[in-house]
């Protein structure tokens, strides 16, 4: 399902839950310091679409969290951090989703604090051993160029990678 089909209602149904990052070109996840990255979204309001956002990862054996709120504006979300990060914001969108809604491509725009990047995420609790092949054979459907697909680093740990 391409990004064009992802209206407010579809995104409100799709995103809540926990997602594991299985591939990325986003530097934050490529240093080897932040492991097991996950996004957890909870629905705050449907219209306008607002999600609470918990980015979690393991660093030096300890689970860390980056908390924020995502507000849909047009075809992209505006993320704003909470607490000490309340002055930080970024923009992201869902570029494409698998037909079953369990694999998604998230595209991040360049911000003051981060470069542009792409994550491939898989809904936690689902099994997609062939996720790399699935995305490779449908890059257009997932909103990826061949160059973007080639730039991804794939994480091999965990039951949902392929």
Q: Domains along the chain?
A: 3-154 (2.40.128.20)
Provide the whole-model pTM: 0.89
HEC secondary structure over the chain? CEHHHCCHHHHHHHCCEEEEEEEECCHHHCCCCCEEEEEEEEEEECCCCEEEEEEEEEECCEEEEEEEEEEEECCEEEEEECHHHCCCEEEEEEEEECCCCCEEEEEECCCCCCCCEEEEEEECCCCCCCHHHHHHCCCCCCCCCHHHHHHCEECCCCCCCC
Report the pLDDT value the prediction gives residue 85, as an integer from 0 to 100.
Answer: 62
Calculate what percentage of the chain has a pLDDT beyond 90: 73
- 27-53 average pLDDT score: 95
Per-residue confidence (pLDDT) for residue 84, from 0 to 100: 63
pLDDT range class, residue 79, cuts 50, 70, 90: confident
91-144 pLDDT, tens digit per residue, is 999 999 999 999 999 999 988 778 899 999 999 988 888 999 999 999 999 999
Q: Report the mean per-residue pLDDT for the chain.
A: 89
57 to each of 11, 67, 138, how far by Cα in Å? 24, 12, 28
């Amino acid at each position: 399902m391409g990004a064009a089909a992802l209206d407010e209602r579809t995104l409100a149904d799709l995103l809540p839950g926990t997602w594991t990052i299985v591939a990325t070109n986003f530097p934050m996840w490529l240093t080897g310091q932040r492991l097991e990255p996950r996004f957890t979204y909870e629905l705050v309001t449907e219209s306008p679409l607002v999600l609470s956002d918990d980015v979690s990862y393991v660093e030096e054996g300890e689970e860390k969290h980056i908390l924020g709120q995502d507000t849909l504006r047009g075809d992209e979300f505006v993320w704003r951090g909470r607490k000490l990060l309340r002055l930080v914001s970024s923009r992201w969108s869902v570029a494409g989703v698998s037909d079953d809604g369990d694999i998604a491509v998230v595209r991040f725009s360049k911000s003051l604090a981060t470069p542009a990047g792409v994550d491939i995420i898989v809904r936690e609790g689902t099994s997609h051993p062939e996720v790399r092949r699935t995305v490779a054979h449908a890059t257009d459907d997932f909103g990826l160029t061949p160059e973007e697909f080639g730039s991804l680093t794939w994480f091999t740990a965990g039951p949902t990678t392929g």
